[in-house]
Amino acid sequence: MPRLLRPLLLFFVLSAAAAGQDQVPTAKPFTVSARRYSFDPPRIEVIQDDLVKIELHSEDIAHSLTIDAYRIAKRVGPGKPVTFEFRADHAGTFPYYCNLQIDDGCRQMRGELVVKPRRQPQRGGSDVAPRSRPGSAVRVRP
């Protein structure tokens, strides 16, 4: 009997360990269109540590999407989309813009990447903040 239990026990232990490992994160996809001196959407919101995937399109002339804080500068031509990924590893609001000078209107192309801080789980294991009405107090007990 012990001969059967050891391999079976080993199988269950290894299975549990494999199941507990983090899954490979999937990218949060966004499509950004650049045209007539604006980006659509003008605002991208993600959570800190998200893997962000952007598919950039130009509908008229060559444009770029530049995010200095993440050292991103991607150029796109009309009808030739560009796809790129990055990890949004620091929280904050970061401007993105077209850095090309093909036309004076390119300087007006602005948007913002909003990276919200990842919430740390509370002691109870919930990562959801308590809800309250504006003007009401929330008491949190240790």
- How far apart, in whole angstroms, are the C-alpha atoms of residue 38 and residue 99? 13
Q: Does 87 reside within a domain? A: yes
Q: Does 18 reside within a domain? A: no
Q: Band the pLDDT of 56: cuts 50, 70, 90.
A: very high
Q: Does 139 reside within a domain? A: no
Q: Does 55 reside within a domain? A: yes
- How far apart, in whole angstroms, are the C-alpha atoms of residue 49 and residue 78? 31
CATH number for 49 = 2.60.40.420
Q: Does 9 reside within a domain? A: no
Q: Does 6 reside within a domain? A: no
The pLDDT value given to residue 133: 47
The pLDDT value given to residue 64: 96
The pLDDT value given to residue 105: 84
Average pLDDT over residues 38-64: 97
Q: Does 10 reside within a domain? A: no
Question: Looking at the 3D structure of the chain, how many domains does it have?
Answer: 1
Higher pLDDT, 39 or 124: 39
- How far apart, in whole angstroms, are the C-alpha atoms of residue 134 and residue 79? 47
Average pLDDT over residues 108-114: 97
Q: Does 84 reside within a domain? A: yes
User: Containing domain of residue 87, as a range?
Assistant: 28-116
